[in-house]
Amino acid sequence: MPSEGYLSELESISSENEKIFENSNAVQQLRDSKDLDLYESAAVASHRSVFSRIQEIESNPVKKTRTGEYPDLDIVIQATNLKTAETTEEASKFELEANAISPPDVPYSWVITCLQSLIMVATWGCSSCFGVFLAYFITADYFPGATTVDYAMIGSLVLYFAQAAATIPIVLSSIIGFRPVMCIGILLQTGGYIASSFATKVWQLYLSYGTMVGLGFCFIVNPPFTIVPTWFSTDEGKGANMDRSGKKKKSKVGLSQGIIAGGAGLGGAIFSLAAQRMIEQTGDHRWAMRVVGIVVFIANCIACIFIKERVPKPRLKTWHEIRSRFTLILDWSVAKQYQVDCICVWYALMVLAYIVLMYSMSSMALSIGLTETQGSHVTAIFNACQAIGRPMIGLTSDYTGRVNMSVSVSCFTVVLVFALWINCETYGSLIAFSVLSGLTSGVANCLNGSLLADSVPQAMIPSGWTFFSLCVGSAGLCSEVVALKLRDLSLSKPFLHAQIFVGCVQVFAILCLLPYREWKTRQIFIERLRKLDEESKKEGWTTEERQVLEIAHDKYARLLRTNIPSFFIRLCYPMKV
């Protein structure tokens, strides 16, 4: 075994490196500004040279004496000196690079937002046009022996792979970079659309459209998903999110996420109308799929070229780093957190209801005597209104509170389903429903990421997002099948069961989100009570001021009681949450 001196020298390498890293002026500024992405990049860059040096020392054959000790510490001391020089150089190099990194909330932040929205147009947006292909396959009986369940499963596979396999491209982008991963996705997606146009059997459609297009979505959407938030400051922290007068800037994260989410609605409107028109002109789906594949290839290539990281992150180079990243992303302890489960169930159920609603709109139009063209117009209006509604939801949530916005809009969607959708019997009433539901039904897709970021430490966000993706992907896997199976053609209202199902699912989703509001309100009260305790310990308060502090302290202490009435008071407490 190595001597204690040998081991202590190895330990000093890490400790000395940490001291040099923490004493760097650039790093101190980063830590004060709470720019955690930049801080993490600095830490990884600084420590990597030390870890590699330790591995070299441990692998070097050192001659033993007769007693079996390791007396030759010159190698260790030399390595330590070399390490110190390398670490100092790394810190200086990073300090120079840090000055060249763009600050948040610059005009290019909105360019990045528009590029990410373009990605949503060319992925989630174009997936909405599968409803047009679905109607054509069923009407024309293009694939002999295929059932409606087959077509529904093919569309659901796209949703499942796009969500459930998100871990793979995220880790892969940490190894080779996000652009190569996006290029893989672009080739898969474009190849899937082109191959689907040549498919003659349903199993070929399963592989080309369901699998290739779904994995393509996954590899395109997920790598740049974490880039956009780094270009905007948050409501917390200091420094980067202060204006010149020293006042705190209003966060634009909600608006940015709303614009991005709105891209899915805009793409749905464009591709649905275009696909329907091309099928009518050509007589089948083949050229429609080919044109869709070419258009999304061009759009995604533009986004891939111009989107960039604000804070370039070091690539993972060793198996230990890759395994650590997998451990971080697949940390299932996040699923044991009460607040995360509430958000996840709400998100998954709202997405399930949203997909059933979206894929029932066009078919319902036919069931009340409308034409296929009118049905496609209803779907297009629904998607176009999402492009308007989602940014509005994101912008409003920055002022009213994300939780308040999520609960109120979710309640409004329930009213729409039970009061309007079930009673739609004319083209005008269906148009009205498509407008109102399009403006509001994307609330879960728009705000789920913000709610997660507000609920867990930053280190747990990747694992939380993985947990969300698996749950939402599983919900999406059965959503289109549910929409078809609940249709009963023997009834005067064939979609009545589907409509009731959508409304009940949304009600249950709201009931799952309400406890999260109570939890979030409780955390705010706990923080306020802590600050009051700190203030009360300070000297110099007058008698009147101390009485005010005591009254406020008693108020929050009562609100934080663990009985049932206090729970409902916190649940309904009027405040920005």
pLDDT in tens, 145-203: 888 888 888 888 888 888 888 888 888 888 888 899 999 999 999 999 999 999 888 89
Least confident window among 210-214, 217-221, 287-291, 464-468 = 464-468
Q: Are 280 and 397 in contact (CB under 8 A)?
A: no
Q: List the domain boundaries for the chain.
A: 4-100, 105-329, 338-516, 521-572
Matching residue, tokens 């290839």 = 297
Which CATH topology does 105-329 take? Growth Hormone; Chain: A; (1.20.1250)
Pick the CATH number of 338-516 from 3.65.10.10, 2.60.40.420, 1.20.1250.20, 3.40.50.2300: 1.20.1250.20
pLDDT tens, position by position, 318-362? 888 888 877 778 888 888 888 999 999 999 999 999 988 887 887
Q: Evaluate whether 105-329 and 338-516 have a shared fold.
A: yes
Rg (CA), the chain: 28
Burial of 2 per CB tally in 10 Å (0-12, 13-18, 19+) = middle
Q: Is 280 helix (H, G, I), strand (E, B) or coil?
A: helix
pTM: 0.75
Segment 408-415 mean pLDDT: 95
The Cα 16–Cα 101 span in angstroms is 27
Number of residues that make up the chain: 577
pLDDT digits (tens, 9 = 90+) for 13-36: 445 444 444 444 444 444 444 444
**For the CA atoms of 432, 288, 151, 261, what is the dihedral angle to 10 degrees?**
-50
Closest of 108, 391, 393, 121 to residue 256, by C-alpha: 391
Q: Which two tokens stand for residue 558?
A: 């009562």
Q: How far is CA 388 from CA 106, 499, 526, in A?
A: 24, 24, 37
Kindly report the number of other CB atoms within 10 A of residue 220's CB atom: 27
- For residue 250, the model assigns a pLDDT of 63
Q: Tens digits of per-residue pLDDT, 472-525?
A: 888 888 887 888 788 887 888 888 998 999 999 999 999 999 999 999 999 999
C-beta neighbour count of 121 within 10 angstroms: 26
Distance CA 72, CA 86 (A): 23
Please, are residues 401 and 520 in contact by the beta-carbon 8 Å criterion?
no
540, with CB counted inside 10 A (0-12, 13-18, 19+), is exposed
Residue 312: which region, alpha, beta or left (left: phi > 0; alpha: psi -120 to 50)? Answer: beta
State residue 107's pLDDT score. Answer: 81
| Nearest residue to 176 via CA among 326, 323, 317 | 317
